[in-house]
């Protein structure tokens, strides 16, 4: 579509794209173009809105910092006027009297009380509980997986599963899950309170309760748990969320790599296949523990791929797998307290052509009584998203007995619906997406954003209105607009929202990408492969990326306006060292610190001796270590203010 004076007018008068769509109507545009053209037309239309720079005055970002010049080397880098200090790294001590990390001494026993590997989602939980303290709190961090090729000598990524010793596998099992560390800021420097009684590791061995509809389902029963209600451990903890009652949700993003053994003869073979369980035993676990051998424990996989609720303020509490939120490769579980008191959780299922989900609790939460949050996530309505070309988003309920989710279709009851959520969503006609990663709500506008990181498998015939580029190597961000108004007025329980494509990522200089950043985006500002999101207290988006190394640029963190003249204009704030992705961005309540996980530094190396960085210690004979950094302004003021 050619640009028109109307396009120009809309952009320079700061008209939100929602209004542009309502007024000029993508709907009528698409109708006139014909429904079958929806996918391509939507892309062309949005693209045209961003291609008016020849006529427009350069937009000014509201993010007040001097953009980092793009750089990709063995160090991390942050914009001028800022510092990015390591707060806690893999192997760091979390108990009184422990010595500093020594790579030659680390084993499963020592790892059990030390910070885990490959940090991802971060929640800053203020101390005391319920406060808005920004100098003291619990850093709750997912430890998604391990990178044996840069943890051990002579170990390529491909051979690790077969080659690791029992001791190495045991160490890896202790290094994943979740880490809770008390941290405190003094004179602008964050440090771990090493002897805090609240410090805690959660691993592949930690006992967990299974609750909600799938608890006790026959397909969750194993030889060690004939009741199907007590699981052991968690893995692939990717992104997550925080509840209004002060618990952390950690997402299990698919345990399929964790299992070995054949699925042949398993009556649930089709379900295992849909969830990617191919017996790859990528981490060698099945060789040493029958629990991970699907031939011996065919139901064990069903006890993973859930959302797990952890109370970080109660170090002896038992984590709970909340099955009402469905079983999938959970990336995110962003929580919103709706204006009517019901609690809403948005979730992405990070796999090719998987879906975006929403859960709405049946009961209401009473902020005056935090105990009312207990078990609130066990009952409610799970729905899956269908994005129509006319700009309407419809949430389709995954409710047993409705819309074909019946015994005849293989769903005996709601426990089967949540356990096989992907298959149920197929029946409902949900929109297949380009790998949904994080979701986040803008606290100021109430709009919800879902990140599609990339999808190399999508071909022309599989495009749809919300996933518009064949072989999408760059990713995009979808914007969802609940009805009811901005901020707290937004109704996150409505059946229908409006939606839009916020940005299509990619290098704007390369027209084959079709990227749609603001035309005023700099050489340093564009990004690829968005993964995690967060918002600052002013409602500006911060995006972390995973995959930019394939484009020979660093993964990092970008601030982006979602409103105003600079909507869709990213600015580079932080760059990772070689091989690392940035993940888990999280602000303190006052916006003065942005915590970021630097995950898998040097992981691109074939073997440890070829590691291009030993970040962050750079010690001869040492190891690269994933770590959480704290980004702060040198003067201590709010980030980007
Ligand atoms: Fe763990 Fe989807 O990244
Ligand atoms: Ca991720
Ligand atoms: Ca997030
Ligand atoms: Ca990712």
pLDDT tens string 511-552: 999 999 999 999 999 999 999 999 999 999 999 999 999 999
pLDDT in tens, 548-564: 999 999 999 999 999 99
Q: Is 579 left (phi over 0), alpha (psi -120 to 50) or beta?
A: left
Q: Which residues contact 259 (CB under 8 A, 6 or more apart)?
A: 277, 279, 280, 281, 285, 286, 292, 293, 294, 300, 301
Average confidence (pLDDT) over 274-279: 96
The residues spanned by each domain of the chain are: 22-255+304-633
Q: How far is the CA of 569 from the centre of ligand 4 (A)?
A: 22
Q: How is residue 336 written in tokens?
A: 């919103």
CA distance 173 to 598: 20
Q: How is residue 308 written in tokens?
A: 């797990």
Position of tokens 């303020």?
A: 313
pLDDT at position 3: 28
144 lines ligand 1 (CB under 6 A): yes
Q: What is the layout of strands, in order, in the sheet containing 392-397?
A: 334-337, 342-348, 356-364, 380-387, 392-397, 496-504, 476-481, 448-452, 436-441
Position of tokens 């996980």?
A: 597
Q: Which ligand is nearest to the CA of 436?
A: 1
pLDDT at position 1: 29
In terms of Cα–Cα distance, which of 245, 482, 249 is closest to 366? 245
Helices (H) and strands (E) in the chain, counts: 11, 29
331 lines ligand 1 (CB under 6 A): yes
59 HSE (CA, 13 A, CB side): 29
**Ligand 1 atom at minimal distance to the Cα of residue 348:** 2
What are the E-state strand segments in 90-188?
Answer: 119-126, 136-143, 177-186
350 lines ligand 1 (CB under 6 A): yes
CA distance 49 to 9: 10
Average confidence (pLDDT) over 75-87: 98
pLDDT in tens, 49-69: 444 444 568 999 999 999 999
pLDDT at position 257: 94
92 lines ligand 1 (CB under 6 A): no
Distances (CA, A) of 202 to 177, 359, 374: 5, 25, 20
Q: Is 216 left (phi over 0), alpha (psi -120 to 50) or beta?
A: left
Q: How far is the CA of 74 from the centre of ligand 4 (A)?
A: 21
Most distant CA pair in the chain, distance: 71
Average confidence (pLDDT) over 172-182: 98
Q: How is residue 471 written in tokens?
A: 């072989």
Integer-rounded Cα Rg, in Å, for the chain is: 23
> Torsions phi, psi of 77, nearest 5?
-140, 145
Q: How many CB atoms lie within 10 A of CB 398?
A: 26
- Ligand 1 atom 1 nearest Cα: 238
In terms of Cα–Cα distance, which of 419, 402, 395, 405 is closest to 346? 395
238 lines ligand 1 (CB under 6 A): yes
Which is more confidently placed, 104 or 93?
A: 93
Tell me 467's DSSP state.
B
Which is more confidently placed, 182 or 57?
A: 182
pLDDT at position 264: 85
pLDDT interval class at 27 (50, 70, 90): very low
268 lines ligand 1 (CB under 6 A): no
Please check the confidence at residue 37 and state whether its pLDDT lies above 50.
no
Please check the confidence at residue 82 and state whether its pLDDT lies above 50.
yes
- Ligand 1 atom 3 nearest Cα: 238
Share of the chain above pLDDT 90, in %: 90
Q: Which ligand is nearest to the CA of 438?
A: 3
257 lines ligand 1 (CB under 6 A): no
Apex 419 CA angle, 116 and 361, nearest 5: 85
Least confident stretch, 18-32, 228-242, 438-452, 613-627: 18-32
pLDDT in tens, 565-593: 999 999 999 999 999 999 999 999 999 99
pLDDT at position 67: 98
253 lines ligand 1 (CB under 6 A): yes
Q: How is residue 593 written in tokens?
A: 């610190």
Q: Is 185 helix (H, G, I), strand (E, B) or coil?
A: strand
DSSP states of 26-85: HHHHHHHH-GGGHHHHHHHHHHHHT--TTTSPPP--S--SPPPPP--SSS-EE-TTEEEE
Average pLDDT over the chain reads 92
Q: What is the layout of strands, in order, in the sheet containing 248-252?
A: 230-232, 207-211, 320-322, 307-310, 248-252, 237-242
Q: Which residues of 80-100 are buried (b: 16+ CB within 10 A; e: fewer)?
A: eebebbbbbbbbbbbeeeeee
Q: Is 472 helix (H, G, I), strand (E, B) or coil?
A: strand
pLDDT at position 265: 87
In terms of Cα–Cα distance, which of 544, 536, 639, 640 is closest to 589? 536
Q: Which ligand is nearest to the CA of 583?
A: 2
Question: What's this model's pTM, rounded to 2 decimal places?
Answer: 0.92
Q: Is 315 helix (H, G, I), strand (E, B) or coil?
A: coil
Q: How is residue 559 written in tokens?
A: 């601030």
pLDDT at position 347: 98
CA distance 325 to 382: 6
Q: How far is the CA of 234 from the centre of ligand 2 (A)?
A: 16
**Cis preceding linkage at 128, omega within 30:** yes
437 lines ligand 1 (CB under 6 A): yes
Average confidence (pLDDT) over 599-621: 97
Tell me 22's DSSP state.
I
**Ligand 1 atom at minimal distance to the Cα of residue 453:** 2
pLDDT interval class at 103 (50, 70, 90): confident
């Amino acid at each position: 579509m050619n640009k028109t004076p109307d396009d120009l007018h809309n952009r320079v008068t700061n008209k939100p794209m929602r209004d542009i769509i309502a007024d000029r109507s993508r709907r009528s545009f698409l109708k006139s173009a014909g429904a079958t053209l929806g996918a391509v037309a939507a892309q062309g239309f949005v693209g045209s809105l961003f291609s008016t720079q020849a006529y427009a005055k350069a937009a000014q970002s509201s993010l007040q910092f001097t953009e980092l010049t793009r750089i990709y080397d063995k160090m991390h880098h942050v914009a001028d006027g800022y510092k990015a200090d390591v707060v806690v790294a893999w192997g760091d001590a979390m108990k009184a009297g422990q010595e500093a990390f020594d790579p030659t001494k680390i084993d499963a026993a020592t790892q059990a009380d030390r910070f885990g590997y490959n940090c991802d989602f971060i929640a800053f939980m203020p101390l005391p509980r319920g406060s808005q303290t920004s100098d003291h709190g619990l850093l709750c961090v997912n430890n998604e997986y391990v990178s044996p090729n840069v943890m051990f000598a002579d170990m390529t990524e491909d051979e690790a599963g077969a080659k690791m010793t029992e001791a190495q596998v045991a160490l890896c099992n202790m290094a994943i899950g979740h880490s809770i560390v008390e941290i405190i800021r003094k004179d602008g420097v964050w440090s771990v309170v090493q002897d805090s009684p609240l410090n805690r590791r959660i691993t592949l061995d930690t006992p967990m309760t299974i609750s909600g509809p799938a608890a006790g389902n026959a397909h969750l029963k194993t030889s060690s748990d004939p009741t199907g209600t007590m699981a052991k451990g968690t893995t692939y903890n990717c992104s997550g969320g925080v509840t209004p009652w002060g618990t952390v949700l950690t997402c299990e993003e698919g345990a399929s790599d964790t299992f070995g053994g054949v699925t042949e003869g398993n009556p649930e073979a089709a379900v295992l296949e849909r969830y990617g369980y191919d017996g790859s035993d990528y981490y060698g676990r099945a060789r040493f523990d029958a629990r991970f051998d699907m031939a011996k424990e065919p139901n064990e996989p069903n006890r993973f791929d859930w959302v797990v609720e952890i109370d970080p303020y109660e170090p002896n509490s038992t984590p709970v797998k909340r099955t009402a939120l469905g079983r999938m490769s959970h990336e995110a579980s962003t929580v919103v307290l709706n204006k009517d008191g019901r609690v809403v959780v948005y979730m992405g299922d990070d796999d090719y052509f998987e879906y975006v989900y929403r859960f709405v609790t049946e009961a209401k939460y009473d902020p005056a009584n935090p105990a009312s949050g207990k078990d609130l996530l066990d009952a409610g309505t799970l729905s899956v998203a269908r994005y129509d070309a006319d700009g309407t988003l419809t949430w389709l309920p995954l409710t047993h007995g409705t819309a074909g989710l019946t015994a005849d279709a293989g769903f005996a009851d709601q426990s089967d619906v949540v356990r096989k959520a992907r298959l149920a969503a197929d029946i409902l006609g949900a929109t297949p997406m380009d790998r949904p990663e994080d979701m986040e709500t803008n606290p100021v506008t109430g709009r919800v954003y879902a990140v599609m990181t990339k999808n190399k498998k999508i071909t022309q015939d599989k495009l749809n209105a919300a996933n518009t580029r064949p072989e999408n190597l760059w990713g995009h961000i979808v914007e969802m607009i609940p009805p009811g108004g901005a901020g707290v007025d937004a109704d996150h329980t409505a059946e229908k929202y409006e939606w839009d494509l916020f940005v299509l990522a990619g290098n704007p200089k390369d027209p084959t990408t079709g990227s749609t950043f603001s035309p005023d985006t700099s050489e340093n500002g564009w990004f690829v492969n968005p993964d995690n999101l967060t918002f600052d207290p002013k409602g500006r988006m911060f995006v972390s990326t995973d995959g930019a190394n394939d484009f020979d640029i660093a993964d990092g963190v970008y601030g982006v306006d979602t409103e105003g003249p600079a909507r869709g204009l990213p600015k580079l704030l932080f760059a990772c060292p070689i091989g690392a992705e940035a993940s888990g961005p999280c602000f303190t309540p006052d916006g003065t610190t942005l915590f970021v996980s630097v995950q898998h530094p040097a992981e691109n190396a074939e073997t440890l001796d070829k590691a291009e960085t030993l970040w962050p210690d750079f010690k001869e004979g040492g190891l690269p270590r994933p770590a959480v950094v704290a980004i702060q302004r040198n003067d201590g003021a709010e980030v980007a203010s």
